[in-house]
A and B are shown apart, each in its own frame.
Chain A
Amino acid sequence: MAADSTRTQTESRIERLLQKDWTPYLIFALPLLFLVLFLFWPLATTVLRALSGPGFDIDLGNLSLENFNRFVTSPMYQRSLRNSFVVSVSSVVFASLIGLPMGYFVARVKMPFKNLFLSIGILPIIMPSFIGAFSWVILLGRQGIIRHFLNQIFMPFGIVIPSIYGLWGIIFAMSLTYFPFVFLLSYGAFSAANPMLEEAAMMMGARRPRIMRTITLPLVIPSLGAGAILVFIRSMGNYGIPAILGGDQYVLPTLTYFRVTGFWDLNSAAAIAMVSVAITGAALLLQKYVISRREYETVSSSRSEQHLHTHWLARLIAVAYCTLVLIVAMLPNITIIIMSFFEQWRGLFPTGFTLENYLRIPRMVSSEIFNSLFLSITASFITAVLGCMVAYITERRRPKGAVILDLAVMAPFILPGIVVSVALLSAFSGDTVLPLGGTFMIILIAFVVRRTPYVFRSVVASLTQLDETLEESSMIMGANWLYTFRRVTLPLIMSGIIAGTILTFATLLQELSTTILLYSARTRTVPVRIFSAVQDGYFGQGAALSVMLLVTVFIVVYAMNRMLGRSISSSFKLG
């Protein structure tokens, strides 16, 4: 009897397994495999290398903290670490000082061109940051035109404007690149805050400054925190700006690069990479801790309108401020465009008008253009598929390990590009099971690992808005998982996928910090070429290539937003 019942139990269990629709599980195994192979394994080897002593060999029998020890013994390591801190924290401070008032003005002051400010405000983070750094060299470098001009005025008074090279230059360029994060997030918070909260304070007799201090600003702190952490992470991982403007000042990404290319000392590069990941991770935790105690429901349920400041002085200040910030932020792009038509720009005006910079492009960099397009398109496509899959699993299936998958796919958010490169080099360069050093493959993998989170987030956002009963009703009507996904889920989340993918494409086209360690003569991309042109002093050629890149990126992002009927500033959440 007992044996009989156990047999029927096993039978019914087998029956249950056979009845189940296994297609989703088979399909979902793919991203997991990818993540294990190209994220977990490289990160594991990075850790092993970091603990293996300087050089290139992994010595499991002799693990030590020697690589980390250098942060105590070597002055160069110490200075880089300190510089990274100073740069990132200062960038956060200055980006907030620039972005917060701008967010307030655009949200709360009655002023013209609001949409224009919002659209242009996004550009600095969509445009390649190393190109911005490059044009600051033109403007404020040793021979920089603005510097030259200002020095002529101030020299008689004994004031000399320093050149842009050095820490302050890096901070300056980074703040102007990343302030849109603060601007757009605080703009969102300022315009979504329930105006009745401020009105209530007014009823209770509070004056404007007090309301600002006790009601308005505290309410935007969560958004400000979110913006600040984005600025911090980006500044920490940015390679292009300190590489161009750093002079003799190193930060962690440039130090990493230096260890790898200068000494082929992958193991200590791994240690530096780990330190920078630890810092960003700690910053993220700190932000979570600070913000979690200040989560407010800032979105108002009633649709009462914000009271906009209408006083002419307020409007004047607001418009003047926003215009000034945007002009300064857009100055690099304008400079680059002018520069691209001239041979030299050493005085107040550029000299030697020419189209040669552009005419040379097809001859000199056709293979780079091909590489950039090939890598970006392929990687975007893979990213779309992968990000879509993982988003679907974690959002809809919620298997037991979904949290790990979720974390894994979000991890690259805090991994700077150069860290991903170091990890991939650790695992796949030289004499390994899967030697990928110098191939297109390794760049592709780096791109995909780094950009999947963006598509992932975009798709998760669409999925959470998609009523689950739409899929359930399809199942009820007799469709299996694949049919349901094809006919119901996919069409409805398509715009999220497209938005995420196109933005991925636009950012990959300008990717430098990942590629810089991974490229070989065969796989060089356009940004790498611009970078080396700038370093070698071929400003005209670099500028022409930059303009080409800027225009392409702008057209892609603009076309996508037009196509999906969204405002251009909505894309910053992904970029």
Chain B
Amino acid sequence: MSLSMTYEGVEKVFDPEGRNPVRALNSVSFTIEPGELFCLLGPSGCGKTTLLRCTAGLESITGGKIYYGERDVTTIPPFRRNIGMVFQSFALYPHMSVYENVAYGMRVRKVPEETIRTKVTEIMDLVGLPDVLKRNPSPTALSGGQKQRVAVARALVYDPEILLLDEPLANLDAKLRRRMRAEIRRIQKVTGITTIFVTHDQEEAMAIGDRLAVLRDGNVEQLGSSGELYHEPQNAFVANFIGKMNFFHGNVASAAGANRESPVRIGNELEIRPHSERIKLEGPLSPGQDVLVGARPENLSITNVSSAAGEAGGSGGGIVGRVNVIQNLGQITRYEVVVDDAYAIDALEVDMYAPVDGVTEGDEVAVQVNGEKALLFAPETVADTVAEEEEVS
């Protein structure tokens, strides 16, 4: 029987009485459904690992409550919580054999030797390592992927109520990481255990999680499925963190209609009219208000300036910029277009399904925005999150 998990106004302040207290978690409240594989995602320093460690009881919280199912575990030390955890470093015991590593949790619980043997065998089958058990080496002799599997086996074997995974794939190489994330999802679905998975890699989080929470500076910015986060980001930070987003400086052109829809100008060249569901600003839009327009690379397009001028002409021509890099990625062709600072925050990334005729690096092109798919956000600084996303801890 798997449990739900509830955070109720969880706060964590490091060094609260010290000279410079650090607020790591800010009134975090949400519920994880029983049997769910839930991802905590965010740039380093966002509080995701702190939240996980608080969930485990390795850190005490300074406010709020944490529930496993109906049980308030806020003050219960980790060893009385019946949870399993996989650490980034795997934390396998070098002085014990693989078998003893996996059996550890059951030895603590004084499970009879018979049961230990059958359960260890079962779990090693589940994680796909039945052969390792026959040789039963020290875990230091295992490969990265094998260590990972042993760590998962060790955390699951004593039937914990919650499974916590702290960046478990960060120490593996790229190829193995892809395979192991599918493995972890398979094992999690077989056991049906409520699982929290911490990562800073948005692709990994989207691939593995039933639902995700994006954290920033100790706050939950948004919570939802991969699709919701990608297509309906609540603010520019989430939009920028999940997938690539191009940001334009927009300006509300005239008063909003009945359903908040109103035309928004980007410079003098473009005017778009985003769908009302895609306006992520509070309150009514007033003419002249500054907004941030977000568009995914697949919602931008480019045309050759000379031909565009000939065919469409006038304001429909789009923002003029210079092609910096063209990457042919097979399925799509990606154009990096540098436009004037007045239009956009950064260089634009445009994904086209086919290469545009006659456009080479250094050429001038006109960029158009699919106004239907564009999003409107409150202006904020988003540039720094791009850098942090690249960071590998």
Q: Which residues of A contact B (CB under 8 A)?
A: 12, 15-16, 19-21, 467, 469-470, 472-480, 483, 487-488, 491-492
21 A–B pairs (Cβ distance < 8 Å), ordered by A:
A12-B75, A16-B75, A20-B77, A467-B91, A469-B88, A469-B89, A469-B91, A472-B56, A473-B85, A473-B87, A476-B79, A477-B79, A477-B108, A477-B158, A478-B82, A478-B105, A478-B108, A479-B79, A487-B104, A491-B95, A492-B95
| Cβ contact within 8 Å between A477 and B154 | yes
| Cβ contact within 8 Å between B75 and A475 | no
- Kindly provide the distance from the CB of A471 to the nearest chain B CB, expressed in whole angstroms: 9
Indicate whether B353 reaches chain A with its CB closer than 8 angstroms. no
- Kindly provide the distance from the CB of A177 to the nearest chain B CB, expressed in whole angstroms: 39
Chain B residues lying within 8 Å of A469, measured Cβ to Cβ, are 87-89, 91
What is the bound-complex CA distance between A15 and B89, given in angstroms?
A: 33
- Kindly provide the distance from the CB of A468 to the nearest chain B CB, expressed in whole angstroms: 9
Knowing that A475-B77, A479-B108, A480-B77 touch, tell me 9 more A-B residue pairs with CB under 8 angstroms.
Answer: A15-B75, A467-B91, A472-B85, A476-B56, A476-B78, A477-B104, A477-B158, A478-B105, A478-B108
Chain A residues lying within 8 Å of B76, measured Cβ to Cβ, are 19
- Kindly provide the distance from the CB of B51 to the nearest chain A CB, expressed in whole angstroms: 16
The answer, among B77, B84, B87, B104, for a CB contact under 8 Å with A21, is B77
As a 0/1 sequence over residues 128 to 144 of chain B, the CB contacts with chain A under 8 angstroms (1 = contact) are 00000000000000000
Contact count A vs B, C-beta below 8 Å: 71
The answer, among B85, B89, B109, for a CB contact under 8 Å with A476, is B85
Indicate whether B58 reaches chain A with its CB closer than 8 angstroms. yes
Chain B residues lying within 8 Å of A20, measured Cβ to Cβ, are 77
| Cβ contact within 8 Å between A476 and B83 | yes
Q: Which residue of B lies closest to A474 (CB)?
A: B104
Given the interface contacts A470-B93, A476-B84, A478-B158, does A19 sit within 8 Å of B104 by beta carbon? Answer: no
Q: Which residue of B lies closest to A480 (CB)?
A: B79
Chain A residues lying within 8 Å of B82, measured Cβ to Cβ, are 478
As a 0/1 sequence over residues 53 to 85 of chain B, the CB contacts with chain A under 8 angstroms (1 = contact) are 000101000000000000000011111111111
Can you list the 10 inter-chain pairs with the closest CB atoms, starting with the nearest?
A: A477-B105, A469-B91, A473-B91, A476-B85, A469-B87, A16-B75, A475-B78, A479-B108, A478-B108, A491-B95
Given the interface contacts A20-B77, A472-B58, does A478 sit within 8 Å of B109 by beta carbon? Answer: yes
- Kindly provide the distance from the CB of B171 to the nearest chain A CB, expressed in whole angstroms: 12
Chain A residues lying within 8 Å of B95, measured Cβ to Cβ, are 491-492
Q: Which residue of B lies closest to A481 (CB)?
A: B79
| Cβ contact within 8 Å between A19 and B108 | no
Q: Which residue of B lies closest to A467 (CB)?
A: B89
Most buried by B among A20, A21, A469, A480: A469
Chain A residues lying within 8 Å of B77, measured Cβ to Cβ, are 19-21, 475, 480
Chain A residues lying within 8 Å of B104, measured Cβ to Cβ, are 474, 477, 479, 487
- Kindly provide the distance from the CB of B10 to the nearest chain A CB, expressed in whole angstroms: 15
Chain A residues lying within 8 Å of B87, measured Cβ to Cβ, are 469, 472-473
Indicate whether B45 reaches chain A with its CB closer than 8 angstroms. no
Chain B residues lying within 8 Å of A491, measured Cβ to Cβ, are 95
Indicate whether B362 reaches chain A with its CB closer than 8 angstroms. no
Indicate whether B94 reaches chain A with its CB closer than 8 angstroms. yes
- Kindly provide the distance from the CB of A141 to the nearest chain B CB, expressed in whole angstroms: 54
- Kindly provide the distance from the CB of B303 to the nearest chain A CB, expressed in whole angstroms: 50
Given the interface contacts A19-B76, A483-B108, does A477 sit within 8 Å of B84 by beta carbon? Answer: yes
Chain A residues lying within 8 Å of B155, measured Cβ to Cβ, are 476-477
- Kindly provide the distance from the CB of A373 to the nearest chain B CB, expressed in whole angstroms: 32
What is the bound-complex CA distance between A478 and B108, given in angstroms?
A: 6
What is the bound-complex CA distance between A351 and B320, given in angstroms?
A: 106
- Kindly provide the distance from the CB of B182 to the nearest chain A CB, expressed in whole angstroms: 24
| Cβ contact within 8 Å between B154 and A475 | no
- Kindly provide the distance from the CB of B214 to the nearest chain A CB, expressed in whole angstroms: 25
